[in-house]
Amino acid sequence: MVGREFFVSDNVAVCLELIDDGEGIAQATEILRAGGTVALPSETVYGLGADATNASAVSKIFTAKNRPASHPLIIHIENIESARSFSNDFNVVAETLGSSFWPGPLTLLVKRSSKVIDEITGGRETVALRVPAHETFQKVLHAFSQVGSGAIAAPSANKYGSVSPTTAQHVLSDMGNHIDAVLDGGNCVVGIESTIVDCTVNPPAILRQGAITLELVNSALRHTGAVATEEFTGESRAPGMKLSHYAPLASVKLFENKVALSSYEEHCALNKISFVTILGSEDREIYARELYSMLRDADASQPTEILVLLPEPSDIGVAIRDRLFKAAAPR
Ligand code: AMP
Ligand code: MG
Domain residue ranges of the chain, discontinuous segments joined by +: 4-230, 251-327
Q: Identify residue 175 by its one-letter amino acid code.
A: M
Taking the CA of residue 207 as reference, the ligand 1 atom at the shortest distance is: 12
SS3 16: strand
In the predicted model, is pLDDT for residue 233 greater than 60? no
154 CA closest ligand 1 atom index = 4
Residue 237 binned pLDDT confidence (cut-offs 50, 70, 90):
low
Check pLDDT > 80 for residue 8. no
Q: Which residues contact 331 (CB under 8 A, 6 or more apart)?
A: 244, 247
pLDDT at site 247: 82
pLDDT at 241: 64
Give the pLDDT band of residue 11 (cuts 50, 70, 90): low
Which ligand has the shortest distance to the CA of 197?
1
Q: How far is the CA of 70 from the centre of ligand 2 (A)?
A: 14
**pLDDT value at residue 331:** 79
Q: How confident is residue 81, by pLDDT bands cut at 50, 70 and 90?
A: very high
b/e map 151-170, b = 16+ CB within 10 Å: bbbbbbbbebbbbbbbbbbb
Coil, helix or strand at residue 136: helix
Say yes or no: CB of residue 126 within 6 Å of ligand 1.
Answer: yes
Tell me how far the alpha carbon of residue 226 lies from the centroid of ligand 2, in angstroms.
Answer: 29
163 Cα–ligand 2 center, Å: 8
* Cis ω before 155 (30° cut-off from 0): no
Burial-class residue 222 by CB neighbours within 10 Å (0-12, 13-18, 19+).
Answer: exposed
Tell me how far the alpha carbon of residue 251 lies from the centroid of ligand 2, in angstroms.
19
Q: Render 52-70 in DSSP notation, one character per residue.
A: TT-HHHHHHHHHHHT--TT
- The residues near 324 (Cβ < 8 Å, ≥ 6 apart) are 252, 254, 291, 308, 310
Nearest protein CA to atom 6 of ligand 1, as residue: 73
State residue 225's pLDDT score.
96
- Tell me which ligand sits closest to the C-alpha of residue 163: 2
36/287 Cα distance (integer angstroms): 34
Q: Is beta strand 126-130 parallel, antiparallel or unpaired with respect to 74-76?
A: parallel
Q: Which CATH number fits domain 4-230: 3.90.870.10, 3.20.20.20, 3.40.50.10210, 3.90.1170.50?
A: 3.90.870.10
Pocket of ligand 1 contains residue 15 by CB under 6 Å: no
124 lines ligand 1 (CB under 6 A): yes
Nearest to residue 188, comparing CAs of 283, 53, 288, 71? 288
Ligand 1 proximity of 238 Cβ (cutoff 6 Å): yes
With 60 as the cut, is the pLDDT of residue 9 above it?
Answer: no
CA dist 250 and 32 (Å) reads: 35
Q: What is the pLDDT at residue 236? A: 52
- Measured between alpha carbons, how far is 6 from 29 in angstroms, rounded to an integer? 15
H or E segment to which residue 99 belongs: helix 92-101
Q: Residue 198, Cα to own-chain centre: how many angstroms?
A: 17
Compute the distance between CA of residue 309 and CA of residue 322 in angstroms, rounded to an integer: 13
Q: Could you report the per-residue pLDDT of 125-158, keeping only the tens digit for each?
A: 999 999 999 999 999 999 999 999 999 999 999 9
* Whether residue 129 has its Cβ less than 6 Å from ligand 1: no
Supply the pTM of this predicted model: 0.94
Which pLDDT does position 1 carry in this prediction? 35
Reduce the DSSP state of residue 23 to 3 states and report it.
helix
155 lines ligand 1 (CB under 6 A): yes
Indicate the average pLDDT of the chain.
93
**How confident is residue 330, by pLDDT bands cut at 50, 70 and 90?**
confident
3-state secondary structure of 149: coil
Q: How far is the CA of 262 from the centre of ligand 2 (A)?
A: 32
Pocket test for ligand 1, best of 208, 244, 245, 326 (most atoms within 8 A of CB): 208
* Tens digits of residue pLDDT in 265-322: 999 999 999 999 999 999 999 999 999 999 999 999 999 999 999 999 999 999 999 9
